[in-house]
Chains A and B, each alone.
Chain A
Amino acid sequence: MVNRLRTKLIRDVRAGIWQIVAISIVAGLGVAMFYGLLMGYSNQKISYAVSYQRLRFADVTIGLKRAPRAIVQRISGMPGVIHVDGRLVVDLDVEQSPGRRGRVTGRLVTLPPRDQPAVNQLLVLEGRLPIGSARREAALESSFAARHKYRPGDRIFPKLDGQRVAFTVTGIVSSPEYIYAVQSKQLLMPTPETFGVLFVRRDQIESLLGMAGSVNEVTLVTEPGQADRIGEEIRRRYSAYGSQDPMTRAEQPSNLLLQSDLDGYAPAAVLMPTLFLGTAALAVSLVLARWVQAQRGQVGFLRASGFPPSAILQHYLELGIAAGAGGGLVGVGLGYGYGLLISKVYADLLHMPYQIVEPHPELAVAGFGLSLVACGLGALGPARQAAAMSPAEAMRGQVPSSPMLAARIPLPLMLALPLRNLLRRPLRTLGTAVGVGASTILLILTGSMLDSLDASLRTYLKEVQNYDLLVGFSEPPADGILFHFRRWPGVLRVEPSLELPVRILHNGRSEETVMIGVLPGSQLRRLPSLDTGLPMFPLPGTVLFTDALMRKLNLERGNLLNIAYTQNTREFSAEANLRSGDPVHQPIGTPIYIGLRDLQLRYGVPLGLPPRGITGALLRVEPGYLASVRARFQARKDVALVQTSDELAAQIYELTAYSRTFMGIFMLFGAAMALAVTYTATDSILWERTRELATLRTLGFGMGRISILVALENMMVAALGAAIGLYPGIRVAQGLMDATQTEGFAMKLVVSQQTYLMALAAPVVLVFLAQWPGLRRISRLDLAGAIRLRDE
């Protein structure tokens, strides 16, 4: 015989379908987050692994001053070495054809004459590799090529030994070393506008570089776990050739950024599903508690007829499971789309050689299971309550209600009625409010993340980097050159800049970064204090760190550190022991700051620079003159880099577009959850009140007045919920921010007034939307029938 308890279940689900759907949506959003984020994460991880493996990404890279190519042969015989390549890597000025940005920094990387290199192979996206032809040819790394719109057949002009040499572009490639095309570890961000990688045949340029038969870098693929040992050994063995510290994958800039992308997933992939599924569980529990309450008589009858408590428990658990299954279905579908979207946004952002997109059904199953578990757990409380009901009690009807506090407060009826209703069931009211609060948390969270991102960019672009134009020299400029620039039309202010790459040693940890000399009273580069926001200046013998770097190195103010120039040689070397000062609030990048004089005297002079040596200049330019000043700099031979602050801003915005998309989606999900939760709450209140409200109608209350009564009650709950969610929202935002902090991008939490307003107002506004279907039902109610109904 058909199980009629199952029939009842199905009919109950059908009768309360919109509530179930609303809960399913909340749970489904949680599952979607879980599935989508983990799918994105897994696909990314696999994409890295596959790209690295297929293209033989180097396990370790060792720079050399100059070594005969024969060492490649010798290294290949070392135990643990699988593949080895020797090559030339040089950074130099590159001129571009008219119509493109005049001059950029190019990194020439040599390829063997006839074949792919043994390590760090290239994936040809368009055209072909520059091998097997007598002409001077180059392949371009794809992000640079895309930014400057290169196609095969175009020409590009590196300056080799001061000579502009034409190369024909044969193809666009992606390289495992430049998935993020980062110039150096000091500047941990891709700068395709000003930096590009050119792959060229070594036999066509080694003599032009005066390096015939030589290499200045070896790259290796090693047996697993051998990279450190082999790298160290090569450094030792070839120190006569000027071998530098080996760089393993863990330090490789592109890989470093990719890994931090991966790390960025985990907090969201845990937090978001937890928040949504927790809310779904709460919603199940609230809705089901009302159902059980409304079905007391039925439960009593079932128990009296001989249904055991376990049957009742199972029956109500199944209702929760039904919502959970709905959530699982919604979530798996939505999550799949979300996962695809993540992969696509990511693929658009980067040029992953092999972008793998797999559905990962095991994650879908796990997500589905989570939804069942969450909703099942939510149902457990009411289900157990139902199962534990004594049948005699259950059929006695009325539930005892606690005495009303509000009854004694003199209030106008329109306020007193809703308030009393809320106070009559304080726990339930609180539960509903907590559900609304969860959406508030999400709105505050996403809103403040976007606020913080904006504020960080503002801080960085308007306070830290306060210049209009940044100029970098390719060779030490003549003394007094800045006075010369100052007289150019439109130039309002010129400040000197000296930047040197350094390695910091502290407590056995080492970190490479760039040390920037700061002009006292500088107006174009400011160092806001993390604590006060006021501009600071490093005292002599002191270095200022960003708070992110201080945390990473476990530094406190006043620590003594050894800071050495990274390219120290026997002839020229510079290092000093310096003290750390107060942290600087700088959201982007992790340079360290020292007084300009200090840097010039302690480092510049020992390295052979003049006493007032500089590497660049910062300029304030009248807006109308920016283009012409920029062009003038670009035409100079001694200038390697010209960048306006707008160009910098554009670069950073491009870099953060991914995070914005993420947050935007989270916010959308948050709003959907707020709507769903308020709907379940308001609608089940309306079901419960059907008789009461119908009675009010028979007494002559119009629908308008009833709507106000209901809305007031719901708005009070919503407002309470918003208030409850506010503080946890800020804490969760702080937590997520701390967890997703990377060294290159360290934000300070900012919550704007708009965000507060949105988080507080949204639930209240949503209440009006949410209660609309219920009110419509009541306005169409057959009054006589409604009053006659006893059960339900």
Chain B
Amino acid sequence: MDAPLVRMRGVWKRYRMGKTEVPALRNIDLEIPAGEFVVFLGPSGSGKTTLLNIVGGLDTVSEGEVLVNGRVLAAQSEAALTVYRRETIGFVFQFFNLVPTLTAKENVELVAQLAKSPRDPGEVLRSVGLAGREHHFPSAMSGGEQQRVAIARALVKRPALVLADEPTGNLDIETAIIVLRVLRDAQRADGHGVLLVTHNQDIARMADRVVRLHGGSLAGVEEVAHPVEPEELQW
């Protein structure tokens, strides 16, 4: 087997809250192979976002070792992390975080301008089902459409890993399914990995692999033998 895309060894993350230290992650050991659709599952406050942010180079570990694509993240300077994020990671957030003064296409172009060999923004938008909406501003789009723009924005720079933090947390089920379908299709088509954070048990059924978190600790990792298609999900 190839080297895993993500490898964590004895990872601790502690946050300072005044005088006390709150551990958000406790001694995580984890390996994720390349090209999989992985769901991080756990109740609110279990450390999912913290874990994702560490993999994405938005946050650093307090203790332990993280390798992504063979790179040691802990040793990286902020400037190097910026380059790492630019070249390796595509983020999708719960609240879309689109630039409201840019159109859908311009939002995608904004990120494309960072990449060495970006995909064509118009083509990416079409691939997420937004043909014809390129010149709309976010305020004129539904939540699902806005989230698909956000996904297009993550995909345009050909990342090795797409990180999505509760991407459907703000959406109704029909819309959520469309968004999940887009993520799944892109992953299959391009072969990049997807790490998707959710507290929604049901979404785990579409994953190749499920990582369970509880109270900052790893509560189990399981490979899913037969992932279902997003359309079969219900909650």
- Seen from chain A, the residues whose Cβ lies within 8 Å of a Cβ on chain B are 1-5, 7-8, 11-12, 14-15, 297-298, 300-309, 390-392, 395, 397, 785, 789-792
Least CB separation from B114: chain A residue:
A306
Would you call B130 an interface residue if the criterion is a C-beta within 8 Å of the partner chain's C-beta atoms?
Answer: no
Complex interface: chain A residues within 8 A of B82 (CB): 303, 306-309
A3 near B113: Cβ-Cβ < 8 Å: yes
Among B76-125, those with CB < 8 Å from A are 78-79, 82-87, 89-91, 93, 95, 97-102, 106-107, 109-114
A392 near B59: Cβ-Cβ < 8 Å: yes
A1 near B113: Cβ-Cβ < 8 Å: yes
Can you add 19 more A-B contacts, CB < 8 Å, to A8-B102, A791-B97? A1-B113, A4-B109, A7-B102, A298-B99, A298-B100, A300-B97, A301-B97, A302-B110, A305-B114, A306-B84, A306-B85, A306-B87, A307-B114, A308-B79, A308-B82, A392-B59, A397-B95, A791-B98, A791-B100
Question: When chains A and B are docked, how far (Å) is the Cα of A150 from the Cα of B106?
Answer: 75
Other-chain contact of A392, B53, B78, B90, B109 (Cβ < 8 Å): B53
Question: When chains A and B are docked, how far (Å) is the Cα of A297 from the Cα of B165?
Answer: 14
B101 near A11: Cβ-Cβ < 8 Å: yes
Complex interface: chain B residues within 8 A of A391 (CB): 58
18 residue pairs bridging A and B, Cβ less than 8 Å apart: A7-B106, A7-B110, A12-B101, A297-B95, A297-B97, A301-B97, A302-B110, A304-B58, A305-B157, A306-B82, A306-B83, A306-B85, A306-B87, A306-B114, A307-B114, A308-B79, A390-B59, A785-B139
Question: When chains A and B are docked, how far (Å) is the Cα of A309 from the Cα of B56?
Answer: 17
- Seen from chain B, the residues whose Cβ lies within 8 Å of a Cβ on chain A are 53, 56, 58-59, 78-79, 82-87, 89-91, 93, 95, 97-102, 106-107, 109-114, 139, 153, 157
Question: When chains A and B are docked, how far (Å) is the Cα of A305 from the Cα of B157?
Answer: 10
A791 near B95: Cβ-Cβ < 8 Å: yes
A395 near B93: Cβ-Cβ < 8 Å: yes
**Smallest beta-carbon distance A475→chain B, Å:** 86
Least CB separation from A298: chain B residue:
B99
**Smallest beta-carbon distance A499→chain B, Å:** 75
Closest 9 pairs between A and B when the two form their complex, measured CB to CB: A306-B86, A11-B101, A4-B110, A301-B97, A306-B85, A392-B58, A297-B97, A304-B91, A4-B109
**Smallest beta-carbon distance A606→chain B, Å:** 88
Complex interface: chain B residues within 8 A of A308 (CB): 79, 82
Complex interface: chain A residues within 8 A of B87 (CB): 306
A301 near B91: Cβ-Cβ < 8 Å: yes
**Smallest beta-carbon distance B107→chain A, Å:** 8
Complex interface: chain B residues within 8 A of A301 (CB): 91, 93, 97, 99
B86 near A8: Cβ-Cβ < 8 Å: no
**Smallest beta-carbon distance A309→chain B, Å:** 8
Complex interface: chain B residues within 8 A of A789 (CB): 139
Complex interface: chain A residues within 8 A of B107 (CB): 4
**Smallest beta-carbon distance A300→chain B, Å:** 7
**Smallest beta-carbon distance B114→chain A, Å:** 5
B101 near A15: Cβ-Cβ < 8 Å: yes
Question: When chains A and B are docked, how far (Å) is the Cα of A306 from the Cα of B59?
Answer: 14
Question: When chains A and B are docked, how far (Å) is the Cα of A790 from the Cα of B189?
Answer: 33
Question: When chains A and B are docked, how far (Å) is the Cα of A208 from the Cα of B109?
Answer: 95
- Between A297, A306, A392, the greatest number of chain B beta carbons within 10 A of the residue's beta carbon is seen for A306
Q: Given the interface contacts A4-B102, A306-B85, does A395 sit within 8 Å of B112 by beta carbon?
A: no
**Smallest beta-carbon distance A181→chain B, Å:** 64
Complex interface: chain A residues within 8 A of B109 (CB): 1-2, 4
**Smallest beta-carbon distance B57→chain A, Å:** 9
Least CB separation from A16: chain B residue:
B101
Question: When chains A and B are docked, how far (Å) is the Cα of A520 from the Cα of B87?
Answer: 95
Complex interface: chain A residues within 8 A of B100 (CB): 298, 791-792
Question: When chains A and B are docked, how far (Å) is the Cα of A792 from the Cα of B97?
Answer: 11
**Smallest beta-carbon distance B29→chain A, Å:** 23
Complex interface: chain B residues within 8 A of A306 (CB): 82-87, 89, 114
- Between A4, A8, A300, the greatest number of chain B beta carbons within 10 A of the residue's beta carbon is seen for A4
B102 near A11: Cβ-Cβ < 8 Å: yes
A4 near B85: Cβ-Cβ < 8 Å: no
Complex interface: chain B residues within 8 A of A4 (CB): 102, 106-107, 109-110, 113
- Between A1, A8, A305, the greatest number of chain B beta carbons within 10 A of the residue's beta carbon is seen for A305
Question: When chains A and B are docked, how far (Å) is the Cα of A390 from the Cα of B102?
Answer: 23
Question: When chains A and B are docked, how far (Å) is the Cα of A19 from the Cα of B59?
Answer: 36
Complex interface: chain A residues within 8 A of B95 (CB): 297, 395, 397, 790-791
**Smallest beta-carbon distance B120→chain A, Å:** 11
Complex interface: chain B residues within 8 A of A302 (CB): 110
**Smallest beta-carbon distance A402→chain B, Å:** 15
Least CB separation from B87: chain A residue:
A306
Complex interface: chain B residues within 8 A of A298 (CB): 97, 99-100
Complex interface: chain A residues within 8 A of B59 (CB): 390, 392
Question: When chains A and B are docked, how far (Å) is the Cα of A306 from the Cα of B107?
Answer: 14
Complex interface: chain B residues within 8 A of A8 (CB): 99, 101-102, 110
Complex interface: chain A residues within 8 A of B112 (CB): 1
Question: When chains A and B are docked, how far (Å) is the Cα of A607 from the Cα of B98?
Answer: 94
Q: Given the interface contacts A4-B110, A7-B106, A395-B93, does A305 sit within 8 Å of B86 by beta carbon?
A: yes
Least CB separation from A300: chain B residue:
B97
A305 near B101: Cβ-Cβ < 8 Å: no
Least CB separation from A299: chain B residue:
B97
Question: When chains A and B are docked, how far (Å) is the Cα of A346 from the Cα of B41?
Answer: 80
Question: When chains A and B are docked, how far (Å) is the Cα of A390 from the Cα of B82?
Answer: 11
Complex interface: chain B residues within 8 A of A792 (CB): 100
Complex interface: chain A residues within 8 A of B78 (CB): 309
Complex interface: chain A residues within 8 A of B56 (CB): 304
Least CB separation from B113: chain A residue:
A1
Question: When chains A and B are docked, how far (Å) is the Cα of A307 from the Cα of B110?
Answer: 10
Least CB separation from A785: chain B residue:
B139
Question: When chains A and B are docked, how far (Å) is the Cα of A792 from the Cα of B83?
Answer: 29
Complex interface: chain B residues within 8 A of A15 (CB): 101
**Smallest beta-carbon distance B119→chain A, Å:** 13
Least CB separation from A305: chain B residue:
B111
Question: When chains A and B are docked, how far (Å) is the Cα of A663 from the Cα of B100?
Answer: 46
Question: When chains A and B are docked, how far (Å) is the Cα of A395 from the Cα of B98?
Answer: 12
Question: When chains A and B are docked, how far (Å) is the Cα of A15 from the Cα of B99?
Answer: 13
B102 near A305: Cβ-Cβ < 8 Å: no
**Smallest beta-carbon distance B76→chain A, Å:** 13
Least CB separation from A4: chain B residue:
B110
B85 near A305: Cβ-Cβ < 8 Å: yes
Least CB separation from B49: chain A residue:
A392
**Smallest beta-carbon distance A649→chain B, Å:** 62
Question: When chains A and B are docked, how far (Å) is the Cα of A15 from the Cα of B102?
Answer: 12
Question: When chains A and B are docked, how far (Å) is the Cα of A298 from the Cα of B99?
Answer: 6
Least CB separation from B121: chain A residue:
A1
Question: When chains A and B are docked, how far (Å) is the Cα of A1 from the Cα of B109?
Answer: 8
- Between A5, A7, A301, A790, the greatest number of chain B beta carbons within 10 A of the residue's beta carbon is seen for A301
- Between B82, B97, B139, B157, the greatest number of chain A beta carbons within 10 A of the residue's beta carbon is seen for B97
Least CB separation from A308: chain B residue:
B82
Least CB separation from B163: chain A residue:
A304
**Smallest beta-carbon distance A403→chain B, Å:** 14
Complex interface: chain A residues within 8 A of B111 (CB): 305
Complex interface: chain B residues within 8 A of A791 (CB): 95, 97-98, 100
Complex interface: chain A residues within 8 A of B99 (CB): 8, 298, 301
Question: When chains A and B are docked, how far (Å) is the Cα of A391 from the Cα of B79?
Answer: 13
Question: When chains A and B are docked, how far (Å) is the Cα of A392 from the Cα of B13?
Answer: 14
Least CB separation from B118: chain A residue:
A1
**Smallest beta-carbon distance B213→chain A, Å:** 17
Question: When chains A and B are docked, how far (Å) is the Cα of A4 from the Cα of B109?
Answer: 7
Question: When chains A and B are docked, how far (Å) is the Cα of A12 from the Cα of B100?
Answer: 9
Question: When chains A and B are docked, how far (Å) is the Cα of A4 from the Cα of B139?
Answer: 18
Question: When chains A and B are docked, how far (Å) is the Cα of A785 from the Cα of B93?
Answer: 22
Complex interface: chain A residues within 8 A of B84 (CB): 306
Complex interface: chain B residues within 8 A of A305 (CB): 85-86, 90-91, 111, 114, 153, 157
Complex interface: chain A residues within 8 A of B97 (CB): 297-298, 300-301, 395, 791
B79 near A5: Cβ-Cβ < 8 Å: no
**Smallest beta-carbon distance B1→chain A, Å:** 29
Complex interface: chain B residues within 8 A of A14 (CB): 101
**Smallest beta-carbon distance B115→chain A, Å:** 9
